[in-house]
Amino acid sequence: MRKRILSLLLAAALVFALASPAFAADRTECLPLVVVQGFNSRPLNQGDKQVFFPDKTLDILKILWPGLWGLASGLFLNQVFGCPPDRIYAGLTTSGRRFLDPVQLDIDSNPVNGPALWLEQFPKSMANYAGEDQRSLARGYGQEYAAKYGWDHVYLYTFDWRLDVFDLAKELDDLIQTAKRETGHDRVYLSPISMGAAVATAWLSEYGEKNDFADVENVLYVSPACQGADMLGVLLSGDLTLDVTNLKYQLLTVDFFKNTVPASWIDALFGWLEGLGLAKYVEEYGRYGTDFFRNYAKYWPGMWTLLPQADYLRAKNLAFPGGGTAEEQAYIAKLDRYHALQGSQDAMFERLRDAGKGFAVISLYTRPLYAPITRNRHTLVSDGVIDTYYTGGFPTLADYGQPPLAAQAVNDGHDHLSPDGMVDASTCLHPENTWFVNGITHDDFKAGEWPAKLALWLIEGGAKGTVQSDAAYPQFTKAAAGSALPGEF
């Protein structure tokens, strides 16, 4: 009997000894996940008042009223009596000033109007923040990661979008070091979304490369703005047009109109809008309005990171004629520094992969931009917020609503054409490491649904492979509401 008990104890000890390394191995792979938020993910506040974006109905009405009244009365006077549209432009400008004054900065990033603004930040793991609104910032894939490994393994970085991304990269590095220290790991998974991709790119350049990217394991860019966004190029360069086709497609993506309003009525509506000359008003006001906006944005270095490379030189010359003043030279050097990095970041991502790390991008192609102020047809294929052309690293795109692409542009031995013919990824900067999802907008990743499942797979190791690595995670998928599997095209 004694021998039998001893044998059982020895067997149990052997099983435990064999199992312990496996548990340890599992634990070493549940690295902390750092999610870098996007533009204005947390609102800017002045004291106890939310100023960007305002959250009180009365505050919103105070901002919008001059613009709405100017538009209505100005259109009437212009159409009926032939008066110049000055009243329209004055109203829009007054609304714009009320909206932007609280966030204005000087060249040294000091507030111009009132005390400094603040936003909610998260200096510890999300285990310390139980609010549903706070934890939802981790997106669906962060929530799924927390369900597997605990909220003490999820960290969020939020930031003031106006500030220099290299200064923000220092804050991000502090959070990454905190995550490593608190969890006892020597690496993190990093997933920036939207404008957060520009901050992450600055961090990888300043803090990642110096030690061969030892602090990260896998990097997933989600709907990234690190190549810019056409909307900002339009606003800062002044190439402003009202795209009526964009407006029409926006209306047609709303189920109520799509299912209940005859197409002929919609055509008639937009014919009437064109007859009013709205496009003409937008273009005429654009020459003044973009100058107005540029005077605010010129001292927001963070905002300049959202400018596409192709627009940067022209926008800089418009904002700083003659190369800027002597005082502005150091500031302009900050802008140049990021745009030099923006133009070379794809090579940095290749070096990241050469170091044995994972790198992947998820780009969305769902609908035209919400804002119909456009310049080219790239904006008609977007995630609603940023053009797929930029989030996907310059894929070839079919015109929205027109016949699909018949073949891919570059034949590298792999099929990079989406099943619906909308996206040709063969021209992407990273055709083997960029995944595309149709069916959700910009940051609408919900726990339990397919896009979040794809993101989680990439974060946990799929990013080390390619779009050819696993048939269960193909380059092109379609999101079906509520489904954990891709839907049919």
Q: Residue 23 pLDDT > 70, yes or no?
A: no
What was the pLDDT predicted at 170?
Answer: 97
Contact 359, 348 (CB under 8 A): no
Burial of 362 from C-beta contacts in 10 A (0-12 / 13-18 / 19+): buried
Q: Residue 390 pLDDT > 80, yes or no?
A: yes
Q: Residue 17 pLDDT > 80, yes or no?
A: no
Rounded Cα gap, residues 247 and 228, in angstroms: 22
pTM as predicted: 0.89
Tokens of 146: 């927390």
What was the pLDDT predicted at 230?
Answer: 87
Which one of 18-27, 51-60, 283-292 scores highest in mean pLDDT? 51-60
Range in 74-78, 206-210, 328-332 the model is least confident about: 74-78
What was the pLDDT predicted at 297?
Answer: 93
- Exposure b/e, 430-463, CB count within 10 A at least 16 = b: bbbbbbbbbbbebbbbbbebbbbbbbbbbbbebb
- Exposure b/e, 225-247, CB count within 10 A at least 16 = b: bbbbbbbbbbbbbbbbbbbebbb
Q: Is 476 left (phi over 0), alpha (psi -120 to 50) or beta?
A: beta
What was the pLDDT predicted at 88?
Answer: 85
What was the pLDDT predicted at 3?
Answer: 39
Q: Are strands 476-478 and 434-438 parallel, antiparallel or unpaired?
A: parallel
Range in 95-109, 251-265, 326-340 the model is least confident about: 251-265
Query: What 8-state DSSP symbol labels residue 51?
Result: E
Rounded Cα gap, residues 100 and 109, in angstroms: 15
**pLDDT tier, 349 (very low <50, low <70, confident <90, very high otherwise):** very high
**How many of the other CB atoms lie within 10 Å of CB of 336?**
13
Q: Residue 399 pLDDT > 70, yes or no?
A: yes
What was the pLDDT predicted at 1?
Answer: 43
Beta bridge partners of 241: 374
Residue in the block written with tokens 């100017």: 70
Tokens of 339: 């745009």
Instruction: Quote the mean pLDDT of the chain.
Output: 88
What was the pLDDT predicted at 271?
Answer: 77
Amino acid (1-letter code) at residue 120: E
**pLDDT tier, 135 (very low <50, low <70, confident <90, very high otherwise):** very high
Rounded Cα gap, residues 265 and 459, in angstroms: 47
Rounded Cα gap, residues 464 and 450, in angstroms: 20
Residue in the block written with tokens 């919008």: 64
Residue in the block written with tokens 């407006």: 247
The answer to whether the bond into 257 is cis (omega within 30° of 0) is no
- Which has more pLDDT, 487 or 216? 216
- Exposure b/e, 167-195, CB count within 10 A at least 16 = b: bbbebbbebbebbbeebebebbbbbbbbb
Contact 306, 315 (CB under 8 A): no
- Region 85-103 average pLDDT: 91
Rounded Cα gap, residues 233 and 342, in angstroms: 14
What was the pLDDT predicted at 60?
Answer: 92
pLDDT digits (tens, 9 = 90+) for 40-57: 999 999 999 999 999 999
**pLDDT tier, 303 (very low <50, low <70, confident <90, very high otherwise):** very high
pLDDT digits (tens, 9 = 90+) for 240-267: 776 777 777 777 777 667 777 787 887 7
